[in-house]
């Protein structure tokens, strides 16, 4: 089972939201940092700095609401196209986030996972990521998935390549390749698909985020920039989610596991 409904970190307040209408996995496209800053006359990077504060707040609230999985889009495979100075500021923020916040996340029972390609990633960041994953691997209150140097097309292409290599070695029959096999070769095959994807900044696109996994996700686009994301905004998104009628292709909502082609099925959960 992926859910840990009976477990809770000591420092997370009493659960306020554990109904079936709440998402098990929330994906967040934290967008609008630059616009938040420039509209106030600040350099773009000030928006990123404030964005980390919004992230801390969000993780705490998600813990209170007992959301089992939170995936945050921290840096896309395409974000390398930005000016070198901004890229290096963002890499620095990730370093500082892991160094400063990991102990608290660990104490709160948060497991940290990082999805994305390790290509082009500075070696010191790779070791920080590896250490964070290793240190928190037994935590069960919440899983924080950090999508870093992540692109959904790259992830699917990587899965296709792995399957092709297995086929060439004669380990699998190409005719047997199905959605479950592709799902099993993505970066984090044991994590259930997102139920809800929130994007701030008013943009209404995925920008290469969890395209495979979002097949049946509900989308909520908020007209605020990421540094302004707070409890009220989170509550708005969750209320919107609770009001949606999820059908998964059938005529009424599926009762238990929502994913029709869930990767969870592969792990027997």
Provide the edge-to-edge strand list for the sheet that holds 110-115: 110-115, 142-150, 69-76, 25-29, 196-199, 218-221
**Which range of residues in 56-64, 97-105, 108-116, 200-208 is near ligand IPE by CB under 6 A?**
200-208
Number of residues that bind Mg ion (CB under 5 A): 1
Mark whether 139 is an active-site residue: no
On whether the CB atoms of residues 128 and 96 are closer than 8 A, the answer is: no
**Alpha-carbon distances of 136 from 32, 94, 124, 133, 188, rounded to whole Å:** 30, 17, 18, 5, 16
CB 32, min distance to Mg ion, A: 6
What phi and psi, each to the nearest 5 degrees, are found at residue 135?
-60, -35
Mark whether 79 is an active-site residue: yes
210 binds, among Mg ion, ligand IPE, none (CB under 5 to 8 A by kind): none
For residue 53, how far is the Cα from the chain centroid? 17
Out of 49, 207, 244, 254, which residue is the one contacting ligand IPE (CB under 6 A)? 207
Out of 29, 128, 198, 259, which residue is the one contacting ligand IPE (CB under 6 A)? 29
On whether the CB atoms of residues 23 and 214 are closer than 8 A, the answer is: no
Pairing state between β 69-76 and 25-29: parallel
Binding to Mg ion by CB under 5 A, coded x per residue (else -) over 26-55, reads -----x------------------------
CB of 25 or CB of 66, closer to ligand IPE? 25
Binding to ligand IPE by CB under 6 A, coded x per residue (else -) over 234-253, reads --------------------
97 binds, among ligand IPE, Mg ion, none (CB under 5 to 8 A by kind): none
What phi and psi, each to the nearest 5 degrees, are found at residue 25?
-130, 120
Cα 91 to Cα 216: distance, rounded to the nearest angstrom: 32
Q: Which residues are marked as active site?
A: 31, 79
Contacting residues toward Mg ion, per CB under 5 A: 31
Contacting residues toward ligand IPE, per CB under 6 A: 29-35, 73-76, 79, 90, 201, 203, 205, 207, 226
């Amino acid at each position: 089972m992926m859910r840990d409904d009976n477990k809770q970190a000591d420092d997370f307040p009493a659960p306020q939201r554990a109904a079936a209408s709440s998402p098990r996995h929330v994906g967040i496209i934290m967008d609008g940092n630059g616009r938040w800053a420039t509209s106030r006359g600040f350099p773009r990077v000030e928006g990123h700095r404030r964005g980390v504060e919004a992230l801390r707040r969000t993780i705490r609230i998600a813990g209170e609401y007992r959301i089992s999985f939170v995936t945050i889009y921290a840096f896309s495979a395409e974000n390398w196209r930005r000016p070198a100075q901004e890229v290096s500021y963002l890499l620095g923020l990730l370093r500082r986030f892991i160094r400063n916040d990991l102990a608290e996340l660990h104490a709160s029972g948060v497991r940290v996972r990082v999805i994305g390609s390790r290509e082009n990633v500075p070696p010191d960041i790779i070791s920080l990521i590896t250490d964070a994953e290793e240190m928190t691997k037994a935590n069960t209150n919440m899983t924080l998935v950090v999508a870093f140097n992540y692109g959904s097309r790259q992830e699917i292409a990587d899965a296709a390549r792995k399957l092709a290599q297995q086929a060439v070695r004669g380990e699998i029959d190409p005719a047997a390749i199905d959605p479950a096999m592709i799902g099993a070769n993505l970066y984090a095959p044991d994590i259930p698909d997102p139920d809800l994807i929130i994007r701030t900044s008013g943009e209404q696109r995925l920008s290469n985020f969890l395209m495979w996994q979002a097949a049946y996700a509900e989308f909520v686009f908020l007209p605020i920039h990421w540094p302004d994301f707070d409890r009220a905004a989170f509550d708005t998104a969750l209320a919107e989610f609770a009001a949606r009628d999820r059908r998964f292709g059938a005529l009424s909502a599926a009762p238990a596991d929502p994913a029709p082609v869930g990767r969870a099925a592969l792990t027997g959960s």
